[in-house]
Amino acid sequence: MIKSKMDKGNFWILARQFFGSYLSHIRNLSPNSIDAYKQSLKDFIAYLEKEQAISRKNITIETFSRKIVQQYITHLKTQRKLAPKTCSLRLTAIKAFLKYCSEESFQFEACFREVSSIKSMKLVKQPVKYLSEKAMRAILKMPRICIEKERRNQMILIFLYDSAVRVQELVNIELKDLHLNENSPFVTIRNGKGNKLRNIPLMAKSVEHLKSYIAEFHGSKPLNSTSPLFYSMRDDCPHSLTTDSIRIILKKYVEMARKICPDIPREVSCHMIRKTRAMDLYRNGIPLPYIMEILGHESEATTKTFYAFATIDTLYEALIKTHSELTHDIPLWKTQEALNRLYSFG
């Protein structure tokens, strides 16, 4: 049966609706999340053209068959050597698009069901990377507070760590989001993944730093102002810093700090600072549900999977608290022989 022009065009019509209104207005996803979906679908289209010899004008929803999608995922893994996590993200985007198509028209239900049953690659859990207390302290001390711009940068680093926010959430913060005069001071965060709000308590020392920073960099502006908390001046007007600007600032001080603290990793991201704060909270006995609230995880399972990283040292410290007589003992697992047995299949 020959398909009509409408049948051939259904993919492009639905794709425009999917990215143009559904993800932003119905799903309320952030621009970053929408861009990730878009890049995944573009990558699949490029695969169809190059590897399957299917021209763009001939792509339909029916092109997204279980067989072709499976071949695509296999291609990503074997030919392009992409990580399992990246392959899974590509598959998730395709499934999300087909789910939307099936909701728009029942004729695409079968296609969605076939593809949705494809299993994602099993991810090998890697140890969560975070900074030591010494490393984090070294980075925070790097800005030269005798220079105005670096006083701002130090406040950025302090806030990034203390609040454990995502970098996009950091650049979104406005003066009105700060509630520094409450009995329990806090900052309201607009989730970088969907504009949902959450409140994060601020420690007394951070409040002190913020008040000094605001007095210097915002002058007499009211605290209910929509001015960006962290900004740069362009055309005599304050503009929110970009996420790239924050990353550049962090990289600068990481490279400086590494000269006096060699155990600082070569790559330190804003997300690693966030994980460092989570780890510090965890090691200090903060329950996972509270950490989940601070991090903005919708599911406790996410927090458990990502942050329930009880290290050997953490377990040892917990044992000390319940068996004080062990305090002066040398833990057996510190020896190489014991570690070899611990990390073996025997």
Three-class secondary structure of residue 141 per DSSP: coil
DSSP state of 3: P
The two beta strands, 197-201 and 237-240, are unpaired
**CB-neighbour burial class of residue 24 (10 A; exposed 0-12, middle 13-18, buried 19+):** middle
**8 pLDDT above the threshold of 50:** no
Tell me the pLDDT tens digit for each residue of 65-124. Answer: 999 999 999 999 999 999 998 999 999 999 999 999 999 999 999 999 999 999 988 766
Q: What is the mean pLDDT of residues 238-249?
A: 93
Answer positive or negative: Cα dihedral of 90, 94, 99, 103. positive
Tell me the pLDDT tens digit for each residue of 263-290. Answer: 999 999 999 999 999 888 888 888 878 8
Three-class secondary structure of residue 200 per DSSP: strand
Angstrom distance (rounded) from CA 141 to CA 144: 8
Angstrom distance (rounded) from CA 297 to CA 168: 15
Q: Go through the domains of the chain in sequence order and give each one's CATH number.
A: 5-116 (1.10.150), 133-298 (1.10.443.10), 312-342 (no CATH)
**127 pLDDT above the threshold of 80:** no
DSSP letter string over 211-267? HHHHHHHTTT--TT--SBSSEEEETTEEEEPPHHHHHHHHHHHHHHHHTT-TTS-S-
pTM: predicted TM-score of the whole model, two decimal places:
0.67
